[in-house]
């Protein structure tokens, strides 16, 4: 079994690589520390499962998933991220991932997720799956319902405080395109500043505040 593991923190990546190697029989871990390296490695030697972080130093893990799936529509992808906001989880699944768990998960959950995704079955961490089901039953906040997937992606990144240059680099688009989307979003959402956009994101559950009040 080959697993492509992409995380830009070497200590974290190597720790998970050792964990998976110890817990899975005859498992070869292919490590990537950037999104572009993950795409390149997949092209050279497709893996049975790709385990991707979302927040990478160059392009986002979601963009990596899209590029892998363009070449291999049956690729099996599991996101393993610090983000537990439902819109981010939904965005990852909409991009074509079979699974999503957070980095606070136990090793047993990681192992179960890898095995499920390897067998072609979807796997979403229990707490996230429960919250997703509740959200679907209650419906999306109407203020966000008119967004395209790209608009929503940029909305989340802007709300998280990423600069237009960083967003452009991660999504492989121009800074001008990001700026245009930003202006259109503010007009569509009827906000006049990035601060108001962040406030709206918190109200709609796109951002969750931690104990210190940080998003």
Question: What CATH number corresponds to the domain at position 9?
Answer: 3.40.50.2300
What are the pLDDT digits (tens) for 44-103? 989 999 999 998 989 999 999 999 999 999 999 999 998 888 888 888 998 999 999 999
DSSP codes joined into one string, 19-49: HHHHHSTT-EEEEESSHHHHHHHHHHS--SE
**Predicted structure pTM score:** 0.69
Give yes or no: residues 168 and 82 share one domain.
Answer: no
Query: Given pLDDT bands bounded at 50, 70 and 90, which one contains residue 213?
Result: very low
Per the model's pLDDT, the better-predicted residue between 127 and 110 turns out to be 110
Give yes or no: residues 13 and 80 share one domain.
Answer: yes
Copy the structure tokens of residue 27: 């498992």
**Res 208: pLDDT:** 60
Note whether residue 55 is domain-resident. yes
Range(s) of the domain holding residue 51: 2-138
User: What's the rounded Cα separation, in Å, for the pair 65 and 79?
Assistant: 9
pLDDT over 50 (residue 127): yes
Give yes or no: residues 15 and 76 share one domain.
Answer: yes
What letters, b where the CB count within 10 A reaches 16 and e where it falls short, cover 133-146? eebeeeebeeebee
Domain boundary among 119, 138, 157: 138
Query: Given pLDDT bands bounded at 50, 70 and 90, which one contains residue 134?
Result: low
Give yes or no: residues 106 and 168 share one domain.
Answer: no
- Indicate left, alpha or beta for 6 from its phi (over 0: left) and psi (-120 to 50: alpha): beta
Give yes or no: residues 133 and 169 share one domain.
Answer: no
**Res 147: pLDDT:** 76
**Res 211: pLDDT:** 45
**Res 128: pLDDT:** 85
Domain boundary among 138, 158, 193: 138
Write the secondary structure of 93-119 as one string of H (helix), E (strand) and C (coil).
HHCCCCEEEECCCCHHHHHHHHHHHHC
**Res 138: pLDDT:** 55
**Res 135: pLDDT:** 67
CB 128 within 8 A of CB 135: no
Question: What CATH number corresponds to the domain at position 175?
Answer: 1.10.10.10
Give yes or no: residues 162 and 79 share one domain.
Answer: no
Note whether residue 52 is domain-resident. yes
Give yes or no: residues 85 and 34 share one domain.
Answer: yes
**SS3 of residue 49 by DSSP:** strand
What letters, b where the CB count within 10 A reaches 16 and e where it falls short, cover 77-91? bbbbbebbbbbbbbb
Give yes or no: residues 157 and 122 share one domain.
Answer: no
User: What's the rounded Cα separation, in Å, for the pair 164 and 148?
Assistant: 18
Copy the structure tokens of residue 164: 């237009």
Mean pLDDT of 100-118: 91
**Res 198: pLDDT:** 86
Domain boundary among 112, 138, 164: 138
What are the pLDDT digits (tens) for 152-208? 888 888 888 888 998 888 888 899 999 998 888 888 888 988 888 888 888 877 766
User: What's the rounded Cα separation, in Å, for the pair 61 and 38?
Assistant: 9
């Amino acid at each position: 079994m080959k697993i492509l593991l992409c995380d830009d923190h070497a200590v974290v990546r190597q720790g998970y690589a050792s964990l998976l190697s110890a817990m899975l029989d005859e498992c070869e871990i292919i490590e990537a520390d950037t999104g572009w390296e993950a795409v390149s490695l997949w092209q050279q030697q497709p893996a049975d499962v790709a385990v991707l972080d979302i927040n990478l130093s160059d392009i986002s893990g979601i963009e990596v998933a899209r590029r892998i799936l363009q070449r291999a529509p049956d690729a099996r992808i599991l996101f393993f991220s610090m983000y537990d906001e439902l819109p981010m989880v939904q965005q990852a699944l909409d991009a074509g991932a079979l699974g999503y768990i957070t980095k606070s998960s136990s090793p047993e959950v990681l192992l179960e997720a890898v095995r499920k995704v390897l067998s072609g079955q979807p796997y979403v961490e229990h707490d996230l799956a429960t919250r997703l089901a509740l959200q679907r039953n209650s419906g999306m906040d109407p203020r966000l319902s008119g967004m395209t997937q790209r608009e929503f992606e940029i909305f989340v990144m802007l709300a998280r405080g990423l600069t237009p240059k960083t967003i452009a680099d991660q999504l492989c688009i121009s800074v001008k395109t990001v700026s245009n989307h930003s202006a259109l979003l503010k007009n569509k959402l009827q906000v006049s500043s990035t601060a108001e956009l962040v406030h709206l994101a918190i109200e709609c559950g796109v951002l969750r505040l931690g104990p210190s009040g940080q998003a």
